[in-house]
Amino acid sequence: MTEHPARLPTYFISHGGGPWPWMAEMAEPMATLAASLRRVSAEAAAGGMLPRAVLCISGHWEAPVFTAQAAARPGMVFDYHGFPEHTYRIRYPAPGAPALAQRVQDLLQGAGIAAAQDTGRGYDHGTFAPLAVMYPQAEVPVIQLSLKAGYDPAEHLAAGRALAPLRDEGVLIVGSGLSFHNLRLRGPGAQAPSAAFDAWLHETLESGTPAERSARLLQWSQAPAARIAHPQEDHLLPLMVALGSAEGEKATTVYHEVMAWTGWTVSSWRFGSPQAR
């Protein structure tokens, strides 16, 4: 891939719940999140240019090795339950990017990291829900990258480091998860643990040296309320890839709120500088 006019930042976003952009009763309380996602797409416009593609690391896909979605026209994965019938007919028609999938595999393997491609995988809601807000015209090609089974944070940081050259090639790297993801805990009981873990994330990401930041993240499970915030860390590990791709760069909060309907404190971050418009 060719160079892009500017190095793109990377992002870790809290992607919201299920098919929320298509449900008025969910979209309204998530208006602050939606506004933040629109700002992300604006920030990632290098000199007014859209990214050449988006590489989304979704907390909803894991595989035995890091696996790049390689379909030219990915389908849809409705990995949620109990929602209205119309939310199982959603289509996010962004084209895939098979050449980018090959580039991702090559970069990972070049760093000694096992990697594969999957031509059958569709877009899950960790990708299509936030991107439908960021790029509603679906004009930017998109591919997903899986998490690696085992959830080793060091392996996900290393994958991010390997993928860093994509930032100079016009590829927007987005880690899509949630800074708090305990679906069994909502309401008043969620407030204290989610606030404690969120505060630790802000301190970890925004203070200290890059080396200290990465070292703290490797020990994330020792943070306050860590296993309450993430009984399973699938929604946290996309952060590791996004940060690894911009490991030496500043973290900036791009979204933060206490969600009234869940009691969760949630945040999103940018790594690196926004693009000039």
**Residue with token string 């890091």:** 66
The answer to the question of residue 3 being in a domain is: no
Residue 1 in any domain: the answer is no
The CATH number covering residue 221 comes to 3.40.830.10
Whole-number percent of the chain with pLDDT over 90: 82
Give domain status of residue 210, yes or no.
yes
> pLDDT per residue over 180-202, tens digit each?
998 888 889 889 999 999 999 99
pLDDT of residue 46: 66
| Reported confidence tier of residue 260, pLDDT bands at 50, 70, 90 | confident
In a domain, 53, yes or no: yes
Q: Is the predicted pLDDT of residue 6 greater than 90, yes or no? A: no
Domain assignment of residue 246, yes or no: yes
Q: What is the pLDDT of residue 235?
A: 95
- Which letter, b or e, does each residue of 221-248 get, where b requires 16 or more Cβ atoms within 10 Å of its Cβ? eebebbebbbeebbbbbbbbbbbbbbbe
State the total domains in the chain.
1
In a domain, 5, yes or no: no
Sheet containing 142-148, strands listed edge to edge, beginning at the edge strand earlier in sequence? 115-118, 66-69, 142-148, 53-63, 171-177, 10-14, 265-271, 251-258
Give residue 18's pLDDT. Answer: 87
**Beta partners for residue 171, in sequence order:** 53
Which residue range(s) make up the domain with 57? 10-271
